[in-house]
Amino acid sequence: MTLEAFQQSDALTLGVELELQLVNTNHYNLTPYAPDMLALLKNAQVPGSIVPEVTTSMIEISTGICRDAQDALQQLTTTRDALVKAADRLNIALAGGGTHPFQQWHQQRIYDKPRFKEITALYGYLTKQFTIFGQHVHVGCPSADDALLMLHRLSRYIPHFIALSASSPFVQGQDTAFDSARLNSVFAFPLSGRAPFALHWEDFERYFDKMTATGVIHSMKDFYWDIRPKPEFGTVEVRVFDTPLSIERAAALAAYVQALGSWFLSESPFEPQEDDYLVYTYNRFQACRFGLEGTYVDPATSEQFGLREHILLTMQKIQSHVPEGSREALQQLRKTVNDGMNDARRLRDAYGEAQQLPEVVRQSTLRFRGTE
Amino acid sequence: MAPNSLPILPSPHIGSWLDAHAGPLMSWCVLVAAAAIAGHLVFRLSGFPRMLGYTVVGLLAGWLGFGDLPWPLQGNTQVLLQTAVGTSLLMAASQISLSWLLRQPWLLLQSLAESVAALVLVTGVLQLLGMGWAVSLGVGVVAMAASPAVLLRVVADLRASGAVTDRSLLLATLSGVYALVLGLVITVAWSPAAAVGVGAEDALASLVLTAAGLGQLLLSLGLTVLWAVLTTVALWPVLRWQSSRSDSTALYMLAALVAVSLLATRWGGSAALGFLVAGLLLRNMSPKPLVWPSAFMAANTMLSLLMFVLVASMAGQVVPSVGLVSVIAAAALARLVGKMGGVLLLGLGTGLGWQRQWPVACAQSPSSGLALVLASALAMQWAVVNTGVAGALTAIALPMVVLCEVLGVLLASLALWRCGEAHRGIGLSALNAKEKRHDA
């Protein structure tokens, strides 16, 4: 199979995908209601799509093409409200968060769909351990080469994305001491990590052809990279975000990617280098482990920053590239960085108060439906 | 027939011999051990829930004369059964959100329809078979109740979860509410016509409303509310405490439930209904989730084992005859038709698709301890006035309960497997097919 051609898309348009948790309203554990939810939502009028995910306690929503944060939030609100209505009918609830705090992976069930069965056949128990919840942000690129340039430039900011969205401190009932433990599950997959360093589409095509010739992959979907090109949409897809607890934060994170992209396209502030990736895994670990309190090694200068400090510096740099409809969202995001308040901290604070993880999940469901 | 003696089949009387030589406690030790092993074997070899094994052992125990149990249930046996049934009802009711339920009128209608249909059909069929109003209505009320206890065990053994499972448990619990309330009304305020002699015609007596019974009914309802409040007050703090998962919490909860059962046995009112209402209060008085101690769940499992053995051993003592078997079969069939028809006819509008209503309907077919509690209460109250009615009610209701329990467990298990909500990787056949893997 050859790599499909990179489609045209309007530069800097956005698309947001959210993987969501379906939870019972009694014990707030994950509950396998995806088939019933999808049946109820079959004719729902929503801007994007609502589709199943790998296990039956998950559901994925996506927006259509968005101009800015405001547009994304409007679309997400419409879909969220439809989901909440259906969930209310079934007496379940939806929650954000990168992991469910106390679900047991072995209790999950694979959704009855050929692709998910194939993945299970290949990866064994890893598939059920993949009951984790991420946000993907697509950003439109004018051309295939621009997309690769965008991809490798955005790679420097992967720690930002992780720390800002981190919402998975608890796994299997334990505090992991990570702000984003979700990405540790992704690392178990052999085709995870970073994309190969190729700045021209022909080089990337050659790499793809070699990989398909080995029989290891069949399509772009088989790569679980942190950022990957999405030729059929004409976008680059950032995949490291934990699903935030609220759709407002999801829209703000998308706006941050968009503003970075706009900065790259209009100012070409730096040329990506293969050596950027020398500190990539270390920076990534720092963001996962310590969130906004992690350290950040600048790949170009090797200078060390506090991650929070580096995010605030970057926000300063891109301020003039933020479109009108995203200003408020990014202002809110900056405020949470100043306060050191990502969703992981919010979840830990909730646990500190309640001392019971089911109550933490209940509060997350209220936050997702916008009533907290 | 005296209220404390059922017709006994000619049997080897091994139980009586053991009782006489080693004491009743030793009999129960043997019985519980046998039930546990039989349950394990059933589960391991067939994949069906363990309670089928418990029931088989209970039936055998009844036939062999184990336990020397009084009927209607009295004393410690009654307290044990009330606690076992009540614990399951408490746990099942604590999963019902009243605010959600009130926003789902179709669901309430469906629940009422299946319960009333079972009541009307069973009563009607028995009336047509000439059993008299008192017996027909008595058995009808017993038939109304589905079994949250059975479903909780099926769900635990088959690791079932999902919309069908939750909906099934909800409908079963609601039918328990209707049956317990109606059972209380009929037991306390109504009475069969007094016996004129000792003969079959006494069993055809009709029901009469007694003036004294109305006052008694109000008292019983008041006492039931009191038991519900007491249970809630006792459990509320520990289920909300931050460290409520300890073993000592479970012990405290058990002690509180047994104490309330003892009070209800002594002073009146329905402990089972009280526990059920307590479950509703605990769930709905605060939005915060309840955290049940795992030791309490384990205790519930053991109490359920005793309950299933008890139900079957009581029925195992009834004399089967061709006439009786056909009456019991007709009543059980009428119950099945009523419950399944009610669920299926009013399934639309409840949020679950048509194909998902079938397994929910099948899961309403089991009957167990709750039905035994109702039958025992009716037999106890009515035996004083008319032993013929009490005897006939017992002779039909007990085997019907066991028949529905066995068939119901099979139906519910198959339905949950079929709809994909129960785990298949259990049992020898599953092991041979390499299904006991994470991806089964």
Find the helix or strand (DSSP H, E) in which A15 lies.
strand A14-24
CA distance B45 to B160: 19
Report the percentage of chain B scoring pLDDT > 70: 87
Report the pLDDT averaged over residues A58-80: 97
Q: Specify the DSSP class assigned to residue B97.
A: -
CA B112/CA B29 separation, integer angstroms: 41
Q: What is the mean pLDDT of residues B129-140?
A: 92
Confidence of residue B99 (pLDDT cuts 50, 70, 90): very high
Mean pLDDT across the stretch A305-329?
Answer: 96
Residues 6+ apart with CB under 8 A from A352: none
Residue B159: its chain A contacts at CB < 8 A?
107
Beta bridge partners of A137: A16, A238
List, as one string, the DSSP characters of B243-307. TTTSHHHHHHHHHHHHHHHHHHHHH-S-HHHHHHHHHHHHHHS-SSPP---HHHHHHHHHHHHHH
The Cα–Cα gap between B312 and B304 comes to: 12
Helix, strand or coil, per DSSP, at residue B101: helix
Kindly report the number of other CB atoms within 10 A of residue B297's CB atom.
14
Residue to mutate among A356, A360, A361, A365, with most B CBs inside 10 A, is A356
Higher pLDDT, B148 or A218: B148
Nearest residue on chain A to B162, judged by CA atoms? A32
Tell me the C-alpha distance between B415 and B147, whole Å: 16
Q: How far apart are CA B270 and CA B264, in angstroms?
A: 6
Cross-strand pairs, A135? A18, A241
| Per-residue pLDDT, B15 | 67
Residue B23 has pLDDT above 50, yes or no: yes
> Mind listing the pLDDT tens digit for each residue in A292-302?
999 999 999 99
CB distance B143 to B400 below 8 Å? yes
CB proximity list for A81: less than 8 A, separation 6 or greater: none
pLDDT tens digits along A211-267: 999 988 888 988 999 999 999 999 999 999 999 999 999 999 999 999 999 999 999
Provide φ and ψ at A50, rounded to 5°: -130, 120
Which of A106, A109, A128 to mutate against chain B (most B CBs within 10 Å)?
Answer: A109
Q: What is the pLDDT of residue B243?
A: 61
Instruction: Decide if A39 touches B, using CB distance below 8 A.
Output: yes
Establish whether the linkage from the previous residue to B70 is cis, with ω within 30° of 0.
no
Residue type, B191: S
Angular region, A170: left φ>0, alpha ψ -120 to 50, beta rest: beta
Closest-approach residue (CA) in chain B for A90: B351
Q: How much is the pLDDT for B6?
A: 47
* DSSP symbols for B177-190: HHHHHHHHHHHHHE
The alpha-carbon gap from A118 to the nearest alpha carbon of chain B, in Å, equals 11
List the single residue in B with minimal CA-CA distance to A356. Answer: B242
Mean pLDDT of B61-65: 81
Does the distance separating the beta carbons of A356 and B291 come in below 8 Å? yes
* A 127-156 residues inside an 8 A Cβ radius of B: 127-128
Question: Rounded to whole angstroms, how far apart are CA atoms B176 and B181?
Answer: 8
For residue A179, pLDDT over 60 is answered with: yes
**Given a cut of 50, is residue B120 above it in pLDDT?**
yes
Q: What does the mean pLDDT of chain A come to?
A: 95
- How does DSSP assign B125-183, residue by residue? HHHHTT--HHHHHHHHHHHH---HHHHHHHHHHHT--SHHHHHHHHHHHHHHHHHHHHH
Structural tokens at position A244: 């935030």
The 3-state DSSP class for residue A188 equals: coil
Percent of chain A with pLDDT over 70: 100
pLDDT digits (tens, 9 = 90+) for B327-358: 999 999 999 999 999 999 998 888 888 889 99
B160's CB contacts (< 8 A; 6+ apart) are: B154, B416, B421, B422, B423
Query: Which residues from A are below 8 Å from B166, CB to CB?
Result: 24, 31, 91
Q: What is the pTM of this model?
A: 0.91
Note the pLDDT of residue A45.
Answer: 93
The structure tokens 């510096």 sit at A313
In contact, B27 and B66? CB cutoff 8 Å: yes
3-state secondary structure of B269: coil
- Higher pLDDT residue, A368 or A105? A368
Picking from A33, A127, A362, the nearest residue to B287 by CB comes out as A362
pLDDT, residue A18, reads 98
| Cβ-based neighbours of B192, under 8 Å, separated by 6 or more | B134, B205, B206, B207, B208, B382, B385, B386, B389
Q: Which candidate in B166, B242, B436 is best for mutational testing of the A interface (most A CBs within 10 A)?
A: B166
For B140, residues 6+ apart whose C-beta sits below 8 A from its C-beta are B118, B119, B120, B122, B123, B126
> What's the pLDDT score for residue A118?
85
Helix H or strand E segment including A348: helix A343-354
Distance from the first to the final alpha carbon of chain A: 48
pLDDT greater than 80 at residue B32: yes
CB pairs under 8 A between A and B: 69
pLDDT in tens, B386-401: 888 888 999 999 999 9
Burial grade of A312 (CB within 10 A; 0-12, 13-18, 19 or more): middle
Q: Indicate yes or no: CB of A36 within 8 angstroms of CB of B352.
A: yes
pLDDT 10s digits, B173-216: 999 999 999 999 888 877 777 665 555 556 566 677 776 678 88
| Chain A residues in contact with B420 (beta carbon < 8 A) | 109, 112
The answer to whether residues A340 and A84 touch, using CB atoms and an 8 Å cutoff, is no
Query: Which residues from chain A sit within 8 angstroms of residue B439, using beta carbons?
Result: 110, 120-121, 124-125, 127-128
The CA distance from B288 to the nearest CA of chain A, in Å, is: 6
CB B59 within 8 A of CB B313: yes
| pLDDT single digits (tens) B273-317 | 999 999 999 999 999 999 888 888 889 999 999 888 888 888 887
In eight-state DSSP terms, residue A33 is: -
Smallest Cβ–Cβ distance between B162 and the set A32, A120, A354 belongs to A32
Characterize the bridge pairing of strands A192-193 and A224-225.
Answer: parallel
Strand-pair partners of A66: A14
How many Cα atoms are found within 13 Å in the side-chain-facing hemisphere of A136? Answer: 19
Which residues of chain A does B426 touch, with a Cβ-Cβ cutoff of 8 Å?
none
**What pLDDT score does B398 carry?**
92
Average pLDDT over residues A308-312: 97
Q: Is the pLDDT of residue B237 over 90?
A: no
Instruction: Name the percent of chain A lying above pLDDT 90.
Output: 86
pLDDT interval class at B37 (50, 70, 90): very high
> Quick check: A61 and A143 in contact, CB under 8 A?
no
Length of chain B: 440
The token duo for B238 is 């520990």
What is the distance, to the nearest Å, from the Cα of residue B185 to the centroid of all Cα atoms in its chain? 18
From the list A25, A31, A356, the residue facing B161 with the nearest CB is A31
Instruction: Select the residue from B294, B357, B438 to test the A interface by mutation, using most A Cβ atoms within 10 A.
Output: B438
Nearest-5° angle of CA B203, CA B204, CA B205?
95
Contacts of B246 in chain A (CB under 8 A): none
- DSSP label at B103? T
Output the pLDDT for position B323.
85
Is residue A153 within 8 Å of A270, Cβ to Cβ? yes
Which residues in chain A are contacts of B103 at CB distance < 8 A? 88
Alpha-carbon distance B160 to nearest alpha carbon in chain A (angstroms): 10
Chain B CB contacts of A95 under 8 Å are none
What is this model's ipTM? 0.89
A135 touches A18 (CB < 8 A)? yes
pLDDT at B195: 60
Please answer yes or no on whether A356 and B242 come within 8 Å at the CB atom. Answer: yes
If pLDDT is split at 50, 70 and 90, which confidence band does B8 have?
A: very low
Task: Residue window 97-126, chain A: list those with CB within 8 Å of chain B.
Answer: 106-107, 109-110, 112, 120-121, 124-125
Interval A116-164: pLDDT, tens: 888 888 888 888 888 999 999 999 999 999 999 999 999 999 999 999 9
CB environment B160-174: b (16+ within 10 A), e (fewer)? bbbbbbbbbbbbbbb
SS3 call for A224: strand
What's the mean pLDDT in B352-366? 93
How far apart are alpha carbons B408 and B146 in whole angstroms? 9
Q: Which of B113, B57, B185 is nearest to B364 (CA)?
A: B113
